[in-house]
Structure 1
Amino acid sequence: MNLNSQTFSSTRKPKNFNNPEHFIEGWYWVIPSQNLRVGEVKPVTILGRELVIYRGKDRRVVTFDAYCPHMGAHLAEGKVEGNALRCFFHHWKFDAEGMCIDIPCLDAPVSLKLQTWPTAEKYGMIWVWTGEIPQQPLPFVPELEQKECDVTIPSHFVMNCHPNVVMINAID
């Protein structure tokens, strides 16, 4: 077999693993649970996509795309009302499923839905699934199952690698 430099070029990018230009649908942690109080909304960016995350009165964490579909205001500037999020700009209100449930100048809401992202909490972290419907449960770490977890995550970092490389090492 003739192995020339074109076959194993060091400049050739891997197809998937450790390729920062592609990501695999899955669970990714976004912020420590302790950093999101009831009634609080925060901006987060995951895999280059801007999102907002909030905790409603029922303590459930909800994740939406970051921008209001009406005029594009960033929803992290909004206000949590009960279990819903109200945009600060024209005060449109969205329930935890992303449905528009109130427009102040209209008697009936319009049929409009924000992109929502499956969200869960485990091991002291808030996780977001990067697809429509989770195809697998959250990661399972037997040693941590019955323990309270104290998590420290840097507020921002950039790694030139596939997101799964960061995920695999997050528990360490």
Structure 2
Amino acid sequence: MERPNISSLLKTSAVLLVSLIAGLLLTGRHFADFVPVDGAALSRPALCVLSALLLFALVWLYRLFCVPMELLRGADDAGYITQTGRTRAQVANEVRRRRKTGDLPPVYPNGWYRVLDSHMLARGEVKNVTMLGEQVAVFRGEDGQAHVVDAYCPHLGANLAVGGRVVGGCIECPFHGWQFRGEDGKCVRIPYAERVPEFAQIKPWPSCELNGMVLVWYHCDGMDPTWQIPEQEEITLKKWIYRGRTEHFINSHIQEIPENAADIAHLSHLHTPSILSGVDLRYTNSKVWDFVRHHWEGCPCLEAELSPGLMGACVCVLAGLAVPGG
């Protein structure tokens, strides 16, 4: 028999405690009947205050241990140092203006991109998302299938994700009720017309839902997907549990992110100081926090079976803490 997890136990305990407190308040029983306090009974106002404090503590514990952490950071939150009389955002804007740009690769590399996590899109829900320089409507049909289509109706340009609703496997325009099928973008119904014109169609984005994410395929020439993302069995079988995420907006070309991840040479030099020393490069090598440091070992390796016809490169990195004299 599978043991209940911490989340289930906390939820059950919270329900029982709240039910007990509600019963005490409704029946007018004194809290001292159950928990004596110096032999005196607590008054009803004191009991209400105590109940509110207990409920607040339960909510705080539930959010701490059971709710996945969602940490979102803006473009000026990381990588910039505040200066006297100037905010971090002002410093970031000045750096962007001074940046010299040379020959740049395509704005967006061809491939699969995450749009939303699966738990963010409920059945029958529509969301307005900006991605890859485009505005799209992401919705989940009544059959549970997720779809990604262009956001704007070809009729008069209404945003389907702002006020639009899901009807079966279609998304309905909030202006005139035109219904577009999610799988191919074809308009299947116009409430005031006997037939649907051929031009009534929106662009459907090639998409899939895998590993707890809704993903779309992008290709600069509009080609169909040339490879598929492998399924992660640990996620599908719920061996791995979602505990939260951090989302950072940074000022860089998108290609620099995977290139930085593969740059194992910089780990032992730049990321040796512990997290206690902060992110300001002027002070990360301070002797104050020198008693604990990270130790990195990395080696590149090839993994040839990510998907049919795809050769992928991965980097194996071992990280540890080194304590002088330990």
Q: Same fold (TM over 0.5)?
A: yes
Q: Under a length normalisation based on structure 1, what TM-score does the superposition of the two structures give?
A: 0.77
Measure how far apart 1:157 and its partner are: 3.2
The answer on whether the counterparts of 1:123 and 1:148 sit within 8 Å (CA) in structure 2 is: no
1:79 corresponding residue in structure 2: 165
Percent pairwise identity: 33
1:113 paired residue number: 201
RMSD (Å), alpha carbons: 2.9
Structure 2 residue 120 is the aligned partner of structure 1 residue 32: no
Q: CA deviation at 1:15?
A: 3.7
Q: CA deviation at 1:58?
A: 1.4
Matched, 1:165 2:252: no
Superposition TM-score, scaled by structure 2 size: 0.43
- State the alpha-carbon separation in 1 of the partners of residues 218 and 115 from structure 2: 11
Contact in 1 for aligned 2:211/2:231 (Cα 8 Å) = no
Residues 94-142 of structure 1: CA distance to partner in whole angstroms, max 9, x if unpaired?
Answer: 0121001111110111112211101111221111111341111025657
Q: Which residue identity does 1:114 align to in structure 2?
A: I
- 1:93 counterpart = 2:179: yes
Name the residue aligned to 1:6: none
In structure 2, the CA distance between the partners of 1:66 and 1:167, relative to structure 1 (3 Å rule), is: farther
Query: Would you say the 8 A contact 1:57–1:82 is kept in 2?
Result: yes
Q: Which has the larger Rg?
A: 2
Would the alpha carbon gap of residues 11 and 156 (structure 1) be closer, same or farther in structure 2, given more than 3 Å must change? closer
Q: How far does residue 166 in structure 1 lie from its aligned partner after superposition?
A: 6.3
Correspondence 1:124 to 2:212: yes
Output the CA distance in 2 between the equivalents of 1:167 and 1:127: 21
* Structure having greater relative contact order (Cα 8 Å, sep ≥ 6): 1
In 2: Cα distance, 1:70 partner to 1:37 partner: 27
One-letter code of the match for 1:46? M
Which residue is 1:68 aligned to? 153
Q: Secondary structure at the match of 2:176?
A: coil
Which residue is equivalent to 1:13? 102
Whether the aligned pair in 2 keeps the contact of 1:38 and 1:55 (CA below 8 Å) is yes
Which whole-Å CA distance do the structure 2 matches of 1:37 and 1:25 have between them?
Answer: 28
Match of 1:50 in 2: 135
Q: Does the Cα contact within 8 Å between 2:126 and 2:161 map onto a contact in 1?
A: yes
- Asked if 2 retains the 8 angstrom alpha-carbon contact of 1:125 and 1:151, the reply is no
Select between 34-43 and 113-122 the one with higher mean Cα deviation: 113-122
Contact 1:31 1:153 in 2 (8 A): no
Contact kept? 2:127, 2:137, Cα under 8 Å: yes
- Please state which structure has a larger fraction of its residues in helix: 2
Long gaps (5+) in structure 1: 1-9
1:66 to 1:153, Cα distance in 2 relative to 1, 3 A: farther
1:33-69: CA deviation from partner (whole Å, max 9, x where unpaired): 0000110000111121110100001111111111001
Find the aligned partners of 1:144 and 1:128 in 2 and give their Cα distance. Answer: 19
Q: State how 1:145-164 maps to structure 2 within 5 Å.
A: 146=237, 147-150=239-242, 152-153=244-245, 157-162=249-254
Q: Distance in 1 between matches of 2:260 and 2:118?
A: 19
